[in-house]
Structure 1
Amino acid sequence: MFKAFKGHALETKNRIVMAPMTRSRSTHPGDVPNEMMANYYRQRASAGLIITEGAPVSAVARGYSMTPGIYTPAQIEGWKKVTEAVHQEGGKIFIQLWHVGRRSHSSVSGAEPLAPSAIKIPDQVFGPLPEGGFGMIETQQPKAMSEQDIQATISDFVQAAQNAMLAGFDGVEVHAAHGYLFDTFLRLESNQRQDRYGGSQENRLRFLVDTLQALTQTIGSGKVAVRISPHIGEGFTGDNPEIIQLTLALLQKLQPMNLAYVHFSENISRYVEVSDAFRQQVRRVYQHPIMVAGKLTKQSAQRLLDQHYADFVAFGTPFVTNPDLVARFTHDWPLTEFDADARLTLYGGGEAGYIDYPAYQA
Structure 2
Amino acid sequence: MEDQIPLLTPYKMGKFQLAHRVVLAPLTRFRSYNGTPQSNAVLYYSQRTTKGGFLIAEAASISPPPQGYKNAPGIWSREHIDGWKPIVDAVHAKGGIIFCQLLYPGKVSDESFDPNDPSKSKGFFFWFLQPRTLSRKEISLVADDFRVAARNAVEAGFDGVEIHGAHGYLIDQILEDQANDGTDKYGGSLENRCRFALEVVEKVSNEIGADRVGIRLSPFANHMESAGDSHAEALGVHMAKSLNKYGILYCHMVQPRKKYANKCTDSLGPMRRAFNGTFIAAGGYDKDDGNDAVAGEQADLVAYGRLFLANPDLPKRFELGAPLNKHQRATFYTKDPVNGYTDYPFLETVV
- Could you state the TM-score of these two structures normalised by the residue count of structure 1? 0.87
- 2:47 — aligned with what? 43
In the alignment, structure 1 residue 75 sits paired with structure 2 residue 64:
no
- Provide Cα deviations, 1:52-104, integer angstroms capped at 9, x if missing partner: 11100001473221001000101000000110010011111001000111112
> What aligned pairs does 1:21-36 form with structure 2 within 5 A after superposition?
21-28=27-34, 31-36=35-40
How far apart, in 2, do the equivalents of 1:165 and 1:357 lie?
A: 30
User: Is contact 2:37-2:84 (8 Å) kept?
Assistant: yes
Cα distance, 1:252 vs. partner?
1.1
Cα distance, 1:146 vs. partner?
0.3
Change (3 A) 1:272 1:226: farther
RMSD across aligned positions (CA): 2.4
How far apart, in 1, do the equivalents of 2:172 and 2:194 lie?
A: 9
How far apart, in 2, do the equivalents of 1:306 and 1:43 lie?
A: 28
Cα distance, 1:271 vs. partner?
8.6
* Selected match of 1:333 from 318, 322, 337: 322
SS at match of 1:74: helix
User: More deviation in 250-259 or 320-329?
Assistant: 250-259
- Provide Cα deviations, 1:164-186, integer angstroms capped at 9, x if missing partner: 00000011001111111011101
In the alignment, structure 1 residue 356 sits paired with structure 2 residue 333:
no
Cα distance, 1:235 vs. partner?
4.0
In the alignment, structure 1 residue 52 sits paired with structure 2 residue 76:
no
User: Is contact 1:231-1:273 (8 Å) kept?
Assistant: no
SS at match of 1:143: coil
How far apart, in 2, do the equivalents of 1:136 and 1:252 lie?
A: 31
User: Is contact 1:57-1:157 (8 Å) kept?
Assistant: yes
- Provide Cα deviations, 1:118-140, integer angstroms capped at 9, x if missing partner: xxxxxxxxx9554x875676323
User: Is contact 2:168-2:227 (8 Å) kept?
Assistant: no
- 1:124 — aligned with what? none
In the alignment, structure 1 residue 289 sits paired with structure 2 residue 292:
no
User: Is contact 1:4-1:12 (8 Å) kept?
Assistant: yes
How far apart, in 2, do the equivalents of 1:4 and 1:275 lie?
A: 22
SS at match of 1:64: coil
> What aligned pairs does 1:105-254 form with structure 2 within 5 A after superposition?
105-108=110-113, 130=120, 134=123, 138-235=127-224, 239-254=228-243
- 1:66 — aligned with what? 71
Change (3 A) 1:274 1:197: farther
- Provide Cα deviations, 1:237-282, integer angstroms capped at 9, x if missing partner: 7652212112111111111322211001225599996885544422
Change (3 A) 1:159 1:290: same
How far apart, in 2, do the equivalents of 1:251 and 1:18 lie?
A: 22
SS at match of 2:196: helix
How far apart, in 1, do the equivalents of 2:260 and 2:221 lie?
A: 4
User: Is contact 2:264-2:293 (8 Å) kept?
Assistant: no
- 2:11 — aligned with what? 5
Change (3 A) 1:17 1:275: closer
Give the residue type in structure 1 aligned to 2:292: R
* Selected match of 1:346 from 325, 332, 338: 332
How far apart, in 2, do the equivalents of 1:249 and 1:68 lie?
A: 31
- Could you state the TM-score of these two structures normalised by the residue count of structure 2? 0.90
How far apart, in 2, do the equivalents of 1:275 and 1:263 lie?
A: 17
How far apart, in 1, do the equivalents of 2:331 and 2:201 lie?
A: 34
Structure 2's unaligned 5+ residue stretches are 1-6
Structure 1's unaligned 5+ residue stretches are 111-126
- Provide Cα deviations, 1:36-60, integer angstroms capped at 9, x if missing partner: 0111000000272111111000014
How far apart, in 2, do the equivalents of 1:68 and 1:5 lie?
A: 30
Aligned residues: 340
State, as a whole percentage, how many aligned pairs show the same letter. 34
User: Is contact 2:108-2:225 (8 Å) kept?
Assistant: no
- 1:303 — aligned with what? 292
User: Is contact 2:166-2:218 (8 Å) kept?
Assistant: yes
How far apart, in 1, do the equivalents of 2:316 and 2:226 lie?
A: 40
Change (3 A) 1:288 1:222: same
How far apart, in 2, do the equivalents of 1:101 and 1:135 lie?
A: 15
- 2:3 — aligned with what? none
How far apart, in 1, do the equivalents of 2:18 and 2:226 lie?
A: 38
* Selected match of 1:89 from 90, 94, 97: 94
SS at match of 2:8: coil
How far apart, in 1, do the equivalents of 2:42 and 2:320 lie?
A: 26
